[in-house]
Chain A
């Protein structure tokens, strides 16, 4: 294969459309960062930076799962509710485990975290099975599980925060810092790295792209797509649960008010601004990460600039519509030209 030409041959226009997306978001991000560091000294404060990174991490983890579901041509409205459910389940199970194994923090934490992750897995499984086997639209199914999961979370807690988790979970994990950075960041980095590998190097990642690009052609090529569709929803559920557990450890109590519609909408916004196409088949986790960071910094910047927090959604809305409209218009120009 020594003759293999590395340069693109004529007639095969490479991925120019992609590079615009690649460049656009980081430039915007840098612009906001530079602008803010000039406008407000507080922005550079270590506390503020840590705060940004922590929030961005939580959003990134959820957005990665959401992105995978959208790339496969679906939607997951239930992530916000799963965050709440996982938080409550984790705290509650830890409370019960503390009674079962008094003093054995490792066992208690293991039980709690496992239970939390399983709650996310269960919701993801229901979503996935309904979408893949019953061929129901992902939008409505996850709308249903969203209501159901939120309801279960509230049933468990009656709306009151759940305490009683081991100190080592809260102080030693949730609020701990390694090399000056909170644990959530390491978790997020690990998730992103794994997801990048999954997207590029695994069968699962490849099939997710293929299903979103053209499900019929994928089936015709001999791929049993159902299990991969279910896989995307399970992944999204588990990642949302991870965020719920991190939030619980950080705050120190399980709360049914975590996540919610806001987090769900933000995760979709992060994915969409990060170049994930709602038509399916297109999107990279690393860009979604940048987009999650961008959204978090933007919110922070608006706060520091004392722009009425109530007006902030307006910016988010406009940016999101503008980003997608720009992508759509460039796509149209490409197909026309």
Chain B
């Protein structure tokens, strides 16, 4: 009889409930379109090509961080240290590049030193999180809150609290000013990363294992999936993606900023969750992360253009997060 109780919760899906499930699946995209049209009627500039490009570019950063969070949210975790890690990577890469510049390295090797330093710092943060969570059994909340503090400390110490200047132009050309057929670098990079990550999540052993671990960690262990290794990889991937985003943001500001990450951790979680990534694990992916990022960006862009007070925007964002999870809950309930 041991099997029957959970079976209750997941009754056979009837045609009607499947239809309702479909409706919930489309709730967010529909809301997004409605929102967009509403803002467009309120202010014609919303539809202008410049603004559309702006939205796309803005979304690409948020989406990258939301994708990073989605990777670990799928495993029933999250990463609070993402924001400080972004600051740390920004400062670390900038310090490495300025040091290389003063040593007289040529711009290309300076660029590589910066990229490698940044990504390595990110990967190291992720490995720390993953090892503490998977091997020591500490909850993701405490583990990443710990590295949150550690990363803040390192970022402010390395930079002495001030922006780190003196990076080669090539860096910001590659990651910010450059474009491919007129499409800004940030968008190009995010699209490429998104496609690769999507393939990784849906077509590789790692991705498959990630979803199974997130859905039922005990069953995954019994089936011989190396649960701990999968978790460590997930956190390392999350922080590496965040590091890439940090490098892109650094290229945009033109200096290594110790406060660059700010409240990015929670914003990224919010975007991923609003898009339909479930904190209960096993559900979501690149699609939900991008959708959530787009929604949050369109919302703030529209509110900015229609001159809604920034403080009111915070309230709206808070409400959207709650409504988002309540809807998600309802969507799960229909299953």
Contact = CB atoms under 8 A, between A and B. Distances in A.
Interface string B116-156: 00000000000000001000111101110111111011101
Interface residues of A, number: 48
B136 A137 contact: no
Nearest to A70: B141
A261 interface: yes
A148 interface: yes
B311 interface: yes
A148 B146 contact: no
B137 A328 contact: yes
B318 A145 contact: yes
Given A147-B321, A148-B318, A316 B149 contact: yes
Interface in B98-127: none
A143 B147 CA distance: 19
A279 B142 CA distance: 12
A150 B267 CA distance: 14
A149 B154 contact: no
Given A137-B279, A140-B279, A328-B136, A320 B329 contact: no
B161 A148 contact: no
Contacts of A312: 153
B148 A148 contact: no
Given A134-B329, A144-B319, A320 B153 contact: no
A148 B266 CA distance: 13
A143 B269 contact: yes
B297 to A, nearest CB: 16
What DSSP secondary structure best describes chain B's contact surface? helix
B275 to A, nearest CB: 13
B212 interface: no
Interface in A282-337: 308, 310-318, 320-321, 324-325, 328-329, 332
Contact of B263 (A135, A261, A308, A311): A261
A127 to B, nearest CB: 9
Contact of B145 (A158, A269, A279, A314): A269
Interface in A136-191: 136-137, 139-141, 143-152, 154-155, 158-159
A305 to B, nearest CB: 15
A155 B145 CA distance: 29
Nearest to B278: A137
Contact of B322 (A144, A154, A269): A144
A279 B140 CA distance: 12
B325 interface: yes
A75 interface: yes
Given A147-B315, A151-B312, A155-B315, A317 B145 contact: yes
Given A143-B266, A311-B157, A148 B326 contact: no
B270 interface: yes
A320 B269 contact: no
B179 interface: no
A5 B14 CA distance: 60
Instruction: Give the 9 A-B CB pairs with smallest separation, nearest first.
Output: A151-B314, A148-B318, A317-B149, A314-B153, A147-B318, A321-B146, A144-B321, A310-B156, A151-B315
Given A147-B270, A151-B314, A320-B146, 17 more contacts: A130-B322, A136-B326, A140-B279, A140-B325, A141-B322, A141-B325, A147-B318, A151-B312, A278-B142, A310-B157, A311-B157, A314-B150, A317-B145, A317-B147, A317-B150, A318-B146, A321-B142
Interface of B: 78, 132, 136-139, 141-143, 145-150, 152-154, 156-157, 160-161, 263, 266, 269-270, 273, 279-280, 309-322, 324-326, 329
6 contacts: A144-B317, A144-B320, A147-B321, A261-B263, A324-B142, A332-B137
Interface of A: 75, 77, 130, 134-137, 139-141, 143-152, 154-155, 158-159, 261, 265, 268-269, 272, 278-279, 308, 310-318, 320-321, 324-325, 328-329, 332
